[in-house]
Amino acid sequence: MSPRRLNATAASLLGFLHDEPLTGWDLVATAQQTIGDFWSLTQSQVYRELAWMAEANLIEARERGPRHRQPYALTPAGRRAFADWTAREPGPETIRFPLLLTISFGRHVAPDRLAGFVRSHHERHATRLASYEAQLAIPATVESGDPYRRATLDFGIRYEQAVLDWFDNLPVPIQSESATDEE
Amino acid sequence: MSPRRLNATAASLLGFLHDEPLTGWDLVATAQQTIGDFWSLTQSQVYRELAWMAEANLIEARERGPRHRQPYALTPAGRRAFADWTAREPGPETIRFPLLLTISFGRHVAPDRLAGFVRSHHERHATRLASYEAQLAIPATVESGDPYRRATLDFGIRYEQAVLDWFDNLPVPIQSESATDEE
DNA sequence: TGGTACATGTAACATGTTACATGATTAG
DNA sequence: CTAATCATGTAACATGTTACATGTACCA
Residues in chain B with pLDDT < 70? 1-3, 143, 177-183
DSSP single-letter state for residue B176:
-
Could you say which residues of chain A have pLDDT below 50?
A: 177-183
DSSP B153: H
Where does A63-130 show beta strands of DSSP type E? 71-74, 94-96
Chain B nearest-CA distance from A130, in A, is 17
What one-character-per-residue DSSP string does A6-35 give? Answer: PPHHHHHHHHHTTTS-EEHHHHHHHHHHHT
For B146, list phi and psi in degrees, rounded to 5: -75, 155
CA distance B102 to chain A (A): 6
**Half-sphere exposure for B34 (CA within 13 Å, toward CB):** 22
Q: What is the pLDDT of residue A158?
A: 98
Question: Are B155 and A165 within 8 A, CB to CB?
Answer: no
Residues 6+ apart with CB under 8 A from A158: B162, B163, B165, B166
> How far is the C-alpha of B149 from the C-alpha of A9, rounded, in Å?
34
From CA B39, how far away is CA B75, in angstroms rounded? 24
* Protein footprint of strand C, defined by Cβ closer than 7 Å to any strand atom: A 3-4, 7, 9, 40-45, 66-68; B 23-26, 43-44, 47-48, 50-51, 66-71, 94, 96
Q: How many whole angstroms separate alpha carbon B124 and alpha carbon B108?
A: 24
**Which of A8, A104, A155 is opposite residue B152, by nearest beta carbon?**
A104
Pick the residue of B146, B166, B174 with the most A CBs within 10 A to test the interface with A by mutation. B166
Q: Residue A183 has what pLDDT?
A: 33
Residue B59's SS3 state is: strand
Instruction: Provide, rounded to the nearest whole percent, the portion of chain A with pLDDT above 90.
Output: 84
CA distances from A124 to A9, A129, B4 (A): 26, 9, 29
The pLDDT value recorded for residue A137 is 87
pLDDT of residue B183: 39
For residue A19, the number of C-alpha atoms closer than 13 Å in the C-beta half-sphere is 11
Tell me the backbone φ, ψ of residue B36, rounded to 5 degrees: -55, -25
CA B39/CA B56 separation, integer angstroms: 23
Q: Where are the alpha helices (DSSP H) in B38-146?
A: 43-55, 76-86, 98-104, 111-137, 139-142
Global confidence as pTM: 0.92
**Is the CB of residue A169 inside 7 Å of nucleic acid strand D?**
no
- Phi, psi for B7 (deg, rounded to 5): -100, 170
Distance CA A9, CA B123 (A): 25
B113 burial type by CB count under 10 A (0-12 exposed, 13-18 middle, 19+ buried): middle
Q: Mutation target for A interface from B7, B38, B113: give the one with most A CBs within 10 A.
A: B38
- Chain A 37-56 contacts with nucleic strand D (CB below 7 A): 43-44, 47-48, 50-51
Instruction: Find the length of chain A.
Output: 183
Question: Which residue in chain A has the smallest CA separation from B125?
Answer: A92
B159 vs A94, A120, A162: nearest CB: A162
pLDDT of residue B2: 61
Q: Give Cβ neighbours of residue A175 (< 8 Å, ≥ 6 apart).
A: A115, A118, A167
